[in-house]
Chains A and B, each alone.
Chain A
Amino acid sequence: MFEAIAFYLFAIVTVAMFLIVVFSKNALYAMSALAGGMIFIAAFFFMLDADFMGVVQIIVYGGAVMALYAFGMMFFDTTRDVKENIKDKRIIYTLGTLSFILIVVIMSAPFISDHIKALYPSLPGVGNPQMVGYVLFTKYLVPFEVAAVMLLVAMIAGIILVSKKMDQSITTMPEVDKKIEAEEFDIKDAK
């Protein structure tokens, strides 16, 4: 009974959150709802006795959405509504409905045809984190390592892209000062 109550409660809340993400025009509402929805998803992992996945969901998406806020802060005035420039609403609605139907069919097909079964059922007496470790480091070792290497590559690429003049402080660069002064001069001229 408790599981049913918890499931429907979190299902409603999660869907509501992601609807806000899609339909809200305010970037702050959208991002906060996204963070909330990601955390509510963790509840489903806890209900399935996948404690480890639930906690990882909270930690990983908590940090990821936080980085999204940083971008929102840089590019928008988050307290105002974003003016959306939509040329043709019909295309968006058609594509949205089609992809929605597609995802629902893909996800529900195995349930309907009853072809779903656990490839690696958890062993009795082995905890959830241990089980994740066993499967990850035996069956899925190669994909796991490849994913790790790809993340490393992405990190190094990111560092190289932003690292120009990283050993200097922008506040002590005379050419930056000159550039700012020139820009201010231009603005005064324009006025």
Chain B
Amino acid sequence: MKRWLAAAVLGLSLGGMAQAAIDTYQFANDAERERYHDLTKELRCPKCQNQDIADSNAPIATDLRREIFRMLGEGKSNQQIIDFMVDRYGDFVRYKPALTARTWLLWFGPGVLLVGGFAVLALIVRKRRTPVPGTSADLSPEERERLAKLLDKEQTHD
């Protein structure tokens, strides 16, 4: 009897814990849950500087999560949900900003810098490879003859 009571108390306390976790939403299916996680990871909390709304405890993030859950239930697409947020809070809320003329530098700037760096490196390497006159490893015909003679001498001495 005592053991049963203990088990019941333990079970109830666990129930309390599950409720204490933030936002326990009931999703229609796993795909929807997946999309919810993706969206809350991709959208940035407007109040906090560098947190996605999945991560933030700010009241506004809670509201936005609830709103995303509601829109998922209504069968809205990911793009519609993101547009909804951008309409209200601007591009700031997207961790993956849309590719526009204004965000071009943001998307391709690092790539351009990398390619530029390699270009400079290649230039420097090539410059070092071009032989400086007077230090060439190639011998002139006269030098070759002299070398051959010297080598011959050495051999005859042996």
Are A and B genuine complex partners? no
Chain B positions within 8 Å of A, measured between CB atoms, are: none
Chain A positions within 8 Å of B, measured between CB atoms, are: none
